Amino acid sequence: MLDTHARKHVQPTVEKTADLLLKLNFTADGVTKIAFIVGMSSGLFIYLDQPFWAVVVLWFSGYLDVVDGTMARKTKPSAWGTLLDISFDRLVEISVILGLAFRFPDSMWALLLLSASIIVAMTVFLTVGALVDKEGMKSFYYQAGLAERTEGFILFTLMIVFSTYLTTIALIFFAVQLVTIGQRMAEARRILK
């Protein structure tokens, strides 16, 4: 929801960062890889009980994830870059969930439910993206929903910072994912019939 509706407010800053990195000879794929490495460290920081750094690297990787797409559109977007971007995004999310699960094993069952809901939500998202003609600035059809990447990062941040309530927040995140799955399935039924 926020990715779809708030993007216009952060895009000028993203554009400036993308232009600067392009001027410094970074490539979109290179920034995708940096975002991946930075983001993967979030799970390690969670496990090492460093919540501040876990949140910082998570959000920095998320910002770079937005910048790399803008860089690609300013140069030459590639199917390979899209694959890297989407795959690395999921691996960063897995890193956060594993860091939380290993640090807080009593919440592992709720994190497993959350993981399953993310898998289903992304399966619907990617399948619809593959079946619908491309629209918009992304390299595939982008299905908006209640839980997009920014909402996920907000909920991950709450899980990291307020770990005492980890199970409750994970179950709220799970419920938000279920609503998103329902939204995307309803839209898919409408546009794919």
Please give the structure tokens belonging to residue 100. 């939380």
Look up the CATH number of the domain holding residue 33. 1.20.120.1760
Q: What is the pLDDT of residue 10?
A: 83
**Secondary structure element (H or E) that encloses residue 99, with its range:** helix 79-103
Please give the structure tokens belonging to residue 126. 């990617």
pLDDT interval class at 116 (50, 70, 90): very high
User: What's the whole-number mean pLDDT along residues 165-186?
Assistant: 95
pLDDT interval class at 5 (50, 70, 90): low
* Average pLDDT of every residue of the chain: 91
Q: What is the pLDDT of residue 177?
A: 95
Number of domains in the chain: 1
Q: Which domain holds residue 175?
A: 2-192
Q: What is the pLDDT of residue 62?
A: 95
Report long-range pairs for 188-191 (Cβ below 8 Å, ≥24 apart).
188/124, 188/127, 188/128, 188/143, 191/128, 191/132
Q: What is the pLDDT of residue 133?
A: 75
Phi, psi of 36, rounded to the nearest 5 degrees: -65, -50
> Per residue in 122-139, pLDDT tens?
999 888 888 887 655 566
> Per residue in 49-104, pLDDT tens?
999 999 999 999 999 999 999 999 999 888 899 899 999 999 999 999 999 999 99
Please give the structure tokens belonging to residue 12. 């000028």
Nearest to 21 by CA among 57, 81, 59, 74: 74
CA–CA gap between residue 169 and residue 110 (Å, rounded): 9
pLDDT interval class at 37 (50, 70, 90): very high
Answer for the pair 32, 81: CB distance below 8 angstroms, yes or no: yes
